[in-house]
């Protein structure tokens, strides 16, 4: 398989600075070499150009930096779509989670996909429900057709690019009241950390994969590193205690790989400023490898 590696050094969607350095930190953790060691051909496409906040005006407090974010998402969506057309696997490195507006859309424009969203947060707010105005809390809602038209339709798409009935959100433990309501109304499958504790990660992933893989051409994985407990991933912008262990996260990625349906992936919210000796970026690399088939033992 050929992998198109795409960096998106964006921190416009979040309040806390630093995730713009995430793509560099993940690359620095020897991602390219480790992918090649797994047998992949890596095409590093560099970084999508992203303006810094100091050059952007924040004119809408409930949609912070929307006018700077949307052009970046359009460029990213085009790059990802081109990768899919070349039959390359898009691997997108963030950057805050607003980038999924472009990465997921770039695949969903061409393929009927299911989506696994592993995250401490729902990212299902709109301008009406958001308590912060940060767009990294809105991408999943927008992909499902909810929210401001500039986010739901980067161009002039007539319908949502993603069916909420083909989405599974895993490891949530911090949901805003408004997005709880929207998630229920949309029919998104949600597994909280409480359900993971009760059912175990194997059963959760079996249910999620069965749900999102019906009548699709592939599965996309969006992995927010704050899904893991801060003990394992301290370098994230919005840490929430009580998250996934390293083994639970690896198992989730391993089961996605075993499905044989993974056609694209993004890894987001690595913040080197808050990290300890690049621990979070290094773990991100290992989880990427698990999602792409790495095993300690295959017998």
The dihedrals phi and psi of 8, each to the nearest 5 degrees, come to -130, 90
Residue in 11, 136, 229, 248 annotated catalytic: 136
Residue in 121, 148, 250, 275 annotated catalytic: 121
Q: Distance between CA atoms of 40 and 56, rounded to whole angstroms?
A: 38
The closest of 156, 158, 6, 154 to 69, measured between CA atoms, is: 154
The closest of 298, 288, 296, 209 to 35, measured between CA atoms, is: 288
Residue in 97, 179, 229, 248 annotated catalytic: 97
Residue in 20, 148, 179, 224 annotated catalytic: 224
The question of whether 97 is a catalytic residue gets the answer: yes
The question of whether 67 is a catalytic residue gets the answer: no
CB neighbourhood size of 121 (10 A): 25
Instruction: Quote the strand ranges of the chain, DSSP E.
Output: 2-8, 41-47, 89-94, 113-118, 167-172, 189-192, 218-224, 262-268
The dihedrals phi and psi of 284, each to the nearest 5 degrees, come to -60, -45
Q: Which residues contact 46 (CB under 8 A, 6 or more apart)?
A: 7
Residue in 11, 20, 123, 229 annotated catalytic: 123
The question of whether 88 is a catalytic residue gets the answer: no
The question of whether 121 is a catalytic residue gets the answer: yes
Sign of CA dihedral 257, 293, 264, 11: positive
Residue in 119, 229, 248, 275 annotated catalytic: 119
The question of whether 136 is a catalytic residue gets the answer: yes
Residue in 96, 226, 248, 266 annotated catalytic: 226
The question of whether 226 is a catalytic residue gets the answer: yes
Active-site residue numbers?
97, 119, 121, 123, 136, 224, 226, 269
């Amino acid at each position: 398989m050929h992998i198109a590696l795409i960096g998106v050094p964006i921190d416009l969607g979040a309040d806390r600075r630093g995730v713009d350095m995430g793509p560099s930190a993940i690359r620095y953790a020897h991602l390219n070499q480790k992918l090649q060691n797994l047998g992949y051909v890596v095409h590093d496409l560099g970084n999508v150009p992203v303006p810094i906040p100091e050059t952007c005006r924040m004119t809408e407090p409930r949609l912070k930096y929307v006018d700077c974010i949307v052009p970046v998402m359009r460029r990213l969506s085009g790059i990802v779509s081109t990768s899919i057309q070349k039959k390359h696997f898009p691997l997108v490195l963030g950057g805050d989670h607003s980038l999924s507006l472009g990465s997921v859309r770039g695949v969903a424009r061409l393929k009927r996909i299911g989506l696994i969203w592993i995250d401490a947060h729902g990212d299902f707010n709109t301008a009406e429900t958001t308590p912060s105005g940060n767009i990294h809390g809105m991408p999943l809602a927008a992909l499902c057709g909810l929210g401001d038209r500039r986010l739901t339709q980067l161009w002039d798409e007539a319908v949502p690019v993603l069916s909420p009935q083909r989405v599974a959100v895993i490891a949530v433990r911090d949901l805003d009241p408004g997005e709880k309501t929207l998630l229920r109304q949309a029919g998104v499958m949600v597994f909280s950390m409480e359900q993971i504790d009760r059912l175990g990660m194997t059963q959760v992933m079996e249910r999620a994969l069965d749900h999102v893989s019906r009548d699709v051409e592939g599965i996309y994985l969006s992995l927010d590193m704050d899904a893991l407990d801060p003990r394992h991933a301290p370098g994230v912008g919005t840490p929430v205690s009580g998250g996934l262990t390293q083994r639970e996260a690896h198992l989730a990625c391993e089961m996605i790989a075993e499905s044989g349906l993974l056609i694209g992936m993004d890894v987001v919210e690595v913040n080197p400023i808050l990290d300890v000796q690049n621990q979070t970026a290094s773990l991100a690399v290992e989880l990427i490898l698990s999602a792409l088939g790495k095993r300690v033992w295959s017998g």
